[in-house]
Amino acid sequence: MSGKVQLATVGDVAEAEEMQEILRNAGIDSTLEQSVDDDAVNVLVAESELDEAQEAIEALTEPDDLIAEP
């Protein structure tokens, strides 16, 4: 079984949960983890599903949606 790897770091829990919902709808399990940077949250997926997860996120979001505002 492969370990979890970081898919993305987003600005807050709400963004992370939105990304997690996109992944869930694509059949990909994910985990949220508090980032060391303030309120940021890391979204983790199984290493074996990283490419599929990246494609799911890219297909269902606008590029600007993935960029956290400072």
pLDDT digits (tens, 9 = 90+) for 7-62: 999 999 999 999 999 999 999 999 999 988 778 999 999 999 999 999 998 887 66
Q: Is the pLDDT of residue 68 over 60?
A: no
Note whether 43 and 68 are within 8 A (CB). Answer: no
Residue with tokens 């799911």, as numbered in its chain: 56
User: Domains in the chain, please, with CATH?
Assistant: 4-63 (3.30.70)
- Non-local CB neighbours of 7 within 8 Å, separated by 6+ positions: 19, 23, 30, 43, 44, 45, 50, 53, 54, 57
pLDDT for res 1: 46
Give the helix/strand (H/E) hosting 7: strand 4-10
**CA 5/CA 23 separation, integer angstroms:** 14
State the pLDDT confidence band at 69, using cuts at 50, 70 and 90. Answer: very low
Checking if the pLDDT of 65 tops 70, the result is: no
pLDDT of residue 43: 96
